[in-house]
Amino acid sequence: MRGVLSASDGRRARSSSARSPHLPRTVGFVGISAAMVAILVAAGAPTPLLPIYEKNWGLAPWELTLAFGVYAIALLVAILVIGSLSDHIGRRPLMIAALALDLTAMLVFLFASSIGWLIAARIVQGVATGTASSSLSAAVVELAPERHKKLGALMTSMAPLAGLGIGSLFAGILAQLVSDPAFTVWLVLVVVMAIGTVFTVFTPETSSRKPGALASLVPRVSVPPQVRGLFASTLPGTISAFMTMALFLSLVPIVLGAVFAVRSPIVGALAAFVTFGVGTVASAVTTGVRPHRLRLLGAGAVTLGAILFIGSVGAGALPLLWAAAVFGGAGLGASFAGTTRGLVPEVKAHDRAGLFAAIYLTGYLAMGVPAIIAGQFVGSVGVTSMAVGFGIVIAIVAMVGVVVTGTHTARRRKAHAA
C-alpha cells in the first residue's frame, strides 16, 4: 500500500513526533480509524436527505443528480492531484487539512438554503474525502499495532463501503425522528468533524518529509505493460460496480418517491445501507477466493441486481428493489475486491500509485458522469424510463464484464499451459 514506511523513515518520524505533545500510537490508530469512517459516513449522509431537499426547495431531479455527480468528480480530482502529497509533507498536515475541509463542507450543508450551496458543499466534501483517502488510509496502516498490521489493512479496505452505508442509515434514522432532519444531521457531523480535526493535531506523525512535494501534484495515471490486458478486462466490472454505487446513493431515493410513492427517508437510507453493508461483507469474507473468480461472481451479481432493479421499477414491485440491493451490493464488493487483488500483486511497489489512480479514474468517472447524464434525461423521459435505462446500461456493462473476464482468464490459462 502507498505510503508504508521504511524503518529509517519510521524512526525519523517518531523522533520528530517525540519533540511535540502527541497521543500514544494505539490511541492514534483508534482515533484516525474513527475519523476515516466519519468522513465516509458524512459522504453517505446526503442520500436520505435528497427527497427532503427536493420537497422543501422544489428541486428538479437533475439538480439532485448534479449535486451527487460533482462530488464524485471533485473526489477524483483530489485523489489524482493530492493523492501522493502526504508521502512528501507527512501524514498529519494532510489529515488535518482533510478534516478541516470536511468540517467546512458540513458547515455549508448546515446553513445551505439553495441548490447552489448544496452543490458547493458537495464539491468541498469531495475534495476533503479525496484528500483523506490516501493520508488517513496510510496513517491507519502505519499506526496499527505491530502485532496487528493486518487490522490496519482490513480497516482501510472495509471503511469506504461500510462508512457510506452507515452514513445513509444514520441520516435516515434522524430524518424519521426529528422535525428538521437536515439541520440535525449536519449539526451532529459538524461536531464530529471538529473533534476529529482537533484529535488529529495531537496524533503522532508516521512519515518523514522528503523532497518532491510540488512534483507529486502532477497527476500520474499509469498502467504497467504487464497488466494492461488484465486491467482492460477489469474495466466493465469496475464501471458497472461504481454505477451501482451511483444508483443507490443518488437515483434510488428519487425513484422511491416518483415510482413507488414512498416519501419516507428511512426507506432510501435502508436501501443504501443494505447495498453497502452486503458489499462490505462480500469483500471481507472472500479473501480466499481467487481474484478472477471474484470478478466473475461480482459482475454476475451486479448483472442480476440490475435486472432485479429494472423489474422492480417496471412492475412497481418494491420487494424486488430490496433483492436488487442485496445482489448489487454483493457484486459491488466482489468486483472491486477482485480487481484490486488481481492487479496490485502483479506490479512493483513504485508502480502501484499510478495503477490505483487509473482504477479510481475509471471508477469515479463511472460514478459521477452517468448520474449527471441520467438527471438530464428525467425532464424529457420521466423518472421511470430514466431508471429503467440506467439499470439496462448497468446490466449490459456488467454482462460484458462477465464475458471479458471469462475470456481473459481462459486465454491466460491456455498461455500458461503452453
| DSSP for 33-86, written as a single string | HHHHHHHHHHHHTHHHHHHHHHHHHT--HHHHHHHHHHHHHHHHHHHHHHTTTH
CA distance 51 to 260: 13
Quote the cell numbers at residue 66: 448534479
CA distance 378 to 61: 7
Instruction: Tell me which H or E stretch contains 188.
Output: helix 181-201
Are both 1-209 and 221-418 of the same fold? yes
pLDDT in tens, 99-129: 999 999 999 999 999 999 999 999 999 999 9
CA distance 42 to 168: 9
Instruction: Say which CATH architecture domain 221-418 belongs to.
Output: Up-down Bundle (1.20)
Confidence at residue 9, expressed as pLDDT on a 0 to 100 scale: 45
Fold category of 1-209 in CATH: Growth Hormone; Chain: A; (1.20.1250)
pLDDT in tens, the chain (418 residues): 334 344 444 444 444 444 456 778 888 888 888 898 899 999 999 999 988 898 889 988 899 899 989 999 999 999 888 877 877 888 889 899 999 999 999 999 999 999 999 999 999 999 999 888 877 877 887 787 776 656 666 676 677 888 999 999 999 999 889 989 999 999 999 999 999 999 999 988 877 787 888 887 887 788 889 889 999 999 999 999 999 999 999 999 999 989 999 888 899 999 999 999 999 999 889 888 999 999 999 999 999 999 999 999 999 999 999 999 999 999 999 998 899 888 878 888 667 767 888 888 899 999 999 999 998 888 889 999 999 999 999 999 999 999 999 888 888 777 776 6
Confidence at residue 109, expressed as pLDDT on a 0 to 100 scale: 96
CA distance 295 to 354: 21
The residue type of 58 is G
Confidence at residue 270, expressed as pLDDT on a 0 to 100 scale: 94
CA 270 to chain centre: 17
**How far is CA 395 from each of CA 4, 55, 292, 367, 389, rounded to the nearest angstrom?**
38, 31, 19, 15, 10
Quote the cell numbers at residue 152: 490496519
CA distance 257 to 206: 47
CA distance 346 to 242: 23
Provide the residue ranges of all domains of the chain, joining segments of one domain with +: 1-209, 221-418
The residue type of 199 is F
Confidence at residue 15, expressed as pLDDT on a 0 to 100 scale: 44
Quote the cell numbers at residue 8: 529509517
CB neighbour class for 21 (10 Å; exposed up to 12, middle 13-18, buried from 19): exposed
By residue count, the chain amounts to 418
CA distance 80 to 76: 6
Lookup result for grid cell 468540517: 103
| DSSP for 194-219, written as a single string | HHHHHHHHTSPP-S---S-HHHHTS-
SS3 114: coil
Alpha helical stretches, state H, 202-290: 213-216, 228-246, 252-258, 265-285
Q: Which residues of 383-406 are buried (b: 16+ CB within 10 A; e: fewer)?
A: beebbbebbebbbebbbbbbebbe
> Strands, DSSP E only, in 70-174?
none
pLDDT in tens, 292-351: 999 999 999 999 999 999 999 999 999 999 999 999 999 999 998 899 888 878 888 667
User: Are the C-beta atoms of residues 313 and 259 closer than 8 Å to each other?
Assistant: yes
Confidence at residue 299, expressed as pLDDT on a 0 to 100 scale: 96
Quote the cell numbers at residue 60: 428538479
**pTM metric for this prediction:** 0.85
